[in-house]
């Protein structure tokens, strides 16, 4: 994973709450077995609407998304993160994220920063008043700058550290392989085993 420190890109106001992962990427796009190439699937249903924010020229190449509360609810599909990433988004801001979506984002280097609703509203207004305005995401000091607005955002320290360092989770865990092996040696005999297969 690439290291992330700061990034500047076009800010996109998504004035919707409860953006579930079925809206981010509908199920029909989940049949692909690759991990890239999902950009066409992002917000697929909404993109049929010419008024949709990403269909407006100023926001078409958006890279920093500002959304209403409860972003990423519902299905655990990591494809939602891949679709945002493949479209070009580097960061999403909301006052509240669903846990699984947030976890998935962290694995793929997509920043999910928490900013309160009142500040999101101010940023929406700034982006709407000046379409195409850029946002600068600074992971080092945990702020995002949009025009005159400088907003601090929250992100958990561990994820921030991993993203700043560009570290991969499996590699980190395998540093503890001895602890895993030790744990396995003490597991109870009654715990479920899928093999050998038993059927009725």
Partner 1 sequence: MTSEALTLAEKVWNDHLVVKGENGSPDLLYIDLHLVHEVTSPQAFDGLRLAGRPVRRLDLTIATEDHNTPTWDIDKPIADITSRTQIQALRTNAAEFGVRIHSLGDKEQGIVHVVGPQLGLTMPGITVVCGDSHTSTHGSFGALAMGIGTSEVEHVLATQTLPLKPFKTMAINVEGKLRPGVTSKDIILAVIAKIGTGGGQGYVLEYRGSAIRELSMEARMTICNMSIEAGARAGMVAPDQITYDYLKGRPHAPEGADWDAALAYWKTLPTDEGAKFDAEVFLDANTLDPFVTWGTNPGQGVSLLDSVPNPEDFKDPNDRAAAERALEYMDLTPGTKMKDIRVDTVFLGSCTNSRIEDLRAAAAVIDGKTKADGVRMMVVPGSAKVRLQAEAEGLDKIFKDFGAEWRFAGCSMCLGMNPDQLAPGERAASTSNRNFEGRQGKGSRTHLVSPLVAAATAIRGTLSSPADLEGAN
Contact residues for partner 1, defined by CB under 8 A: 15-18, 20, 22-23, 26-28, 30-35, 45, 68-70, 73-79, 81, 96, 98-100, 103-104, 107-108, 117, 156-158, 169-170, 172-174, 176-177, 179-180, 183-184, 187-195, 197-200
**From CA 108, how far away is CA 94, in angstroms rounded?**
18
**22/134 with CB nearer partner 1:** 22
**10/124 with CB nearer partner 1:** 124
The DSSP H or E segment spanning 190 is none
Minimum distance from residue 134 beta carbon to partner 1 (Å): 26
The DSSP H or E segment spanning 148 is none
**50/192 with CB nearer partner 1:** 192
**From CA 131, how far away is CA 56, in angstroms rounded?**
9
Minimum distance from residue 192 beta carbon to partner 1 (Å): 5
> Is 95 in a helix, a strand, or coil?
coil
Minimum distance from residue 61 beta carbon to partner 1 (Å): 25
Minimum distance from residue 32 beta carbon to partner 1 (Å): 7
Report whether 53 contacts 14 (CB < 8 A): yes
Minimum distance from residue 141 beta carbon to partner 1 (Å): 17
Spell out the residues 6+ positions from residue 143 whose beta carbon is closer than 8 angstroms to its own.
150, 151, 152, 153
Minimum distance from residue 19 beta carbon to partner 1 (Å): 10
Report whether 78 contacts 52 (CB < 8 A): no
- Best CA proximity match to 92, nearest among 126, 60, 68, 128: 68
**77/90 with CB nearer partner 1:** 77
**91/155 with CB nearer partner 1:** 155
C-alpha dist (Å) from residue 28 to 24, 48, 85: 12, 16, 19
**147/152 with CB nearer partner 1:** 152
């Amino acid at each position: 994973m690439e290291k992330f420190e700061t990034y500047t890109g076009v800010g996109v106001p998504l004035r919707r709450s409860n953006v579930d992962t079925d809206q981010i990427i509908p199920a029909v796009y989940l049949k692909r077995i690759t991990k890239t190439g999902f950009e066409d699937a992002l917000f697929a249903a909404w993109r049929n609407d010419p008024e949709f924010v990403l269909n407006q020229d100023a926001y078409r190449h958006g890279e920093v998304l500002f959304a209403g509360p409860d972003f990423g609810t519902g299905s655990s599909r990591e494809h939602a993160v891949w679709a945002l990433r493949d479209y070009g988004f580097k960061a999403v801001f909301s006052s509240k994220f669903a846990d699984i979506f947030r976890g998935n984002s962290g694995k793929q280097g997509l920043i999910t920063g928490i900013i309160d609703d009142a500040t999101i509203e101010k940023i929406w207004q700034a982006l709407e008043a000046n379409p195409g305005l850029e946002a600068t995401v600074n992971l080092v000091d945990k702020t995002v700058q949009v025009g005159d607005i400088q907003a601090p955002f929250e992100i958990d320290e561990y994820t921030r550290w991993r993203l700043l360092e560009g570290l991969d989770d499996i590699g980190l865990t395998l540093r503890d392989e001895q602890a895993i092996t030790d744990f396995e040696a003490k597991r109870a005999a009654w715990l479920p085993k899928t093999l050998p297969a038993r059927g009725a």
